[in-house]
């Protein structure tokens, strides 16, 4: 089995707050993508994803999350976004998008988030066979992504 190789495709560090960050013109030369986001925010809000600007009800997802005194879960079968992380305080969010360049299957995503008081995970499906060429990370509320937040997109070569 080949060892996966991560190649940095693009990165952004916010110099001011922003409601969204988009990676576009994504190379189709890799098997999977990994999006790593490090938030500096202290505001409560969720972050979502949209692929290729798709705002249709083509995403289904399930989430689990836990804090010291609370555990919860949620899910949907017809959302206009994918659940892509939770920014309750400064923390790290890692999202893997499998077979993003394949044109014969729906796309699947695994995501995990954590900080000092919280851990969460999500799995979702984008019901579209198009290759992913852009990914938008979108803040779900008026609490925008804070200045200093970092967004990095990696391509992964691995065994086919």
- Does domain 5-157 correspond to CATH entry 1.10.8? no
DSSP states along 88-149: SSSEEEEEEEETTT-SSS-EEEEEEEE-SSEEEEEEEEE---SPP--EEEEESSSSPBPTT-
pLDDT score recorded for residue 114: 76
Q: What are the structural domain ranges in the chain?
A: 5-157
Question: What are the pLDDT digits (tens) for 36-50?
Answer: 988 876 555 567 888
Residue 70: what pLDDT?
A: 59
Q: Answer yes or no: is pLDDT of 58 > 90.
A: no
């Amino acid at each position: 089995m080949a060892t996966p190789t991560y190649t940095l495709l693009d990165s952004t560090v916010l110099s001011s707050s922003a409601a969204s960050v988009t990676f576009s013109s994504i190379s189709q030369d890799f098997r999977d993508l990994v999006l790593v986001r490090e938030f500096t925010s202290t505001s409560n809000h969720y972050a979502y994803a949209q692929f290729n600007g798709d705002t249709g009800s083509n995403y289904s997802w399930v989430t689990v999350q836990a804090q010291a005194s609370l555990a919860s879960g949620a899910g949907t079968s017809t959302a206009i976004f994918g659940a892509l992380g939770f920014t309750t305080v400064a923390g790290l969010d890692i999202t893997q998008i499998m077979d993003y360049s394949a044109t014969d299957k729906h796309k699947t995503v695994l995501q995990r988030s954590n900080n000092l008081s919280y851990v969460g995970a999500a799995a979702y499906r984008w019901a579209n066979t198009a290759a992913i060429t852009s990914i938008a990370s979108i803040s779900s509320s008026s609490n925008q992504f804070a200045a200093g937040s970092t967004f990095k997109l990696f391509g992964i070569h691995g065994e086919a």
